[in-house]
């Protein structure tokens, strides 16, 4: 599935592998290293709304080429905006769209074959998992331009690496190599560039082999707990819901029969 746009503003493509229950969102603006435009943001939002209505079990966010995942927002598209337009049409809208990604009931994986800076790193931070090639570099350079991260980077980065390290990246402009980002907890996995696809496939296989409803419930429980939600109550409610699914009956039967379960997602 592709959303056509005027030349030069970039494209966000959505493809769904119905057999594997995997959706892939691909950023494609190679001439500008996938710098995000308002048009790309709206295409991303449309793709996410489509995904929410499918039986997809995992979502991949990636770039069409390996040089860069995304180098952030297109500076030329926001530099001349009036303060109210910057708030309403750029910052707030980006927040809404990235939050839609973060709140998908399906788990999401950002694949960083290349560099991720600014809004590109914030896009990856909105995903549940981040895997990167060894040569990738990550950073939030906005303060060096005279502005601040505007699409959730301050909060999501701090939640992953802690305030001191977040300040080192944002205030001091430190860029991280992939191994350091992994050590800090910013990345989930790192692999040589040639093995990145295998790493992705292994993660997707693990995610899609579990009971889909239980995976989605567990994701929401973890996200709620991360912001101080009442996990004891929510776990009880989620457990009650899971108890009514055919997947639980199949999981129990497979355990008793010592075989692999075959989950149907209901």
Structure tokens at 19: 């057999």
The CA-CA-CA angle for residues 214, 216, 218, to 5°, reads 65
**pLDDT score recorded for residue 84:** 75
Catalytically annotated residues: 122, 142
Question: What's the residue count for the chain?
Answer: 266
Q: Which residues of the chain have pLDDT under 70?
A: 1-7, 78-82, 86, 231-243, 248, 252, 255
Burial 20-52 (b: 16+ CB within 10 A, else e): ebbbbbbbebeebbbbbbbbbbebbbebbebbe
- pLDDT, tens digit (0-9, with 9 covering 90-100), for 188-235: 999 999 999 999 999 999 999 999 999 999 999 888 887 777 766 666
d(CA 131, CA 261): 27
Structure tokens at 247: 């997947």
**pLDDT score recorded for residue 4:** 42
CB neighbours of residue 142 within 10 Å: 21
- pTM score of the predicted model: 0.88
Side-chain-facing half-sphere of 240: CA atoms under 13 Å: 5
Q: Judge residue 106's burial from the number of C-beta atoms within 10 Å of its C-beta, 0-12 exposed, 13-18 middle, 19 or more buried.
A: buried
Task: For residue 165, give the DSSP letter.
Answer: H
**pLDDT score recorded for residue 81:** 66
**pLDDT score recorded for residue 169:** 97
On whether the CB atoms of residues 213 and 246 are closer than 8 A, the answer is no
Place of tokens 């503003």: 9
**pLDDT score recorded for residue 233:** 61
Query: What backbone phi and psi angles, to 5 degrees, belong to 243?
Result: -65, -20
21: left (phi over 0), alpha (psi -120 to 50) or beta: left
Q: Which domains does the chain have, with CATH numbers?
A: 11-208 (3.90.226.10), 212-257 (no CATH)
**pLDDT score recorded for residue 10:** 93
On whether the CB atoms of residues 125 and 116 are closer than 8 A, the answer is no
d(CA 48, CA 104): 8
**pLDDT score recorded for residue 255:** 66
Q: List the helix and strand counts (H, then E) for the chain.
A: 12, 10
**pLDDT score recorded for residue 73:** 84
In the chain, the N- to C-terminal Cα span, in Å, equals: 26
Which value, in Å, is the radius of gyration of the alpha carbons in the chain? 19
State how far the alpha carbon of 95 is from the alpha carbons of 16, 123, 153, 203, 262, in Å: 25, 10, 10, 27, 38
């Amino acid at each position: 599935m592709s959303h056509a746009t005027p030349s030069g503003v970039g494209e966000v493509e959505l493809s769904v592998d119905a057999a594997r229950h995997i959706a892939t969102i691909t950023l494609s603006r190679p001439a500008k290293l996938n710098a995000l435009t308002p048009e790309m943001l709206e295409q991303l939002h449309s793709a996410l709304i489509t995904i929410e209505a499918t039986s997809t079990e995992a979502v991949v966010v990636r770039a069409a080429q390996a040089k860069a995942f995304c180098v952030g927002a297109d500076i030329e598209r926001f530099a001349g905006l009036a303060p109210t337009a910057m708030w309403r049409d750029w910052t707030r809208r980006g927040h809404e769209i990235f939050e839609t990604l973060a709140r998908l009931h399906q788990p999401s994986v950002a694949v960083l074959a290349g560099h991720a800076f600014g809004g590109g790193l914030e896009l990856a931070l909105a995903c549940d998992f981040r895997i990167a090639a060894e040569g990738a570099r990550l950073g939030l350079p906005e303060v060096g331009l005279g502005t601040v991260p505007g699409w959730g980077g301050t909060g999501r980065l701090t939640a992953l690496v802690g305030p001191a390290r977040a300040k080192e990246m944002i205030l001091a402009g430190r860029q991280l190599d992939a191994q350091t980002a992994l050590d800090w907890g910013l990345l989930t996995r790192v692999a040589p560039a040639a093995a990145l696809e295998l790493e992705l496939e292994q993660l997707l296989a693990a995610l899609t082999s579990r009971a889909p409803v239980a995976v989605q419930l567990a994701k929401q429980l973890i996200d709620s707990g991360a912001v101080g939600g009442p996990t004891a109550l929510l776990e009880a409610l989620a457990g009650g819901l899971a108890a009514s699914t055919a997947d639980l009956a199949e999981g129990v039967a497979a355990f008793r029969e010592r075989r692999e379960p075959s989950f149907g997602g209901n």
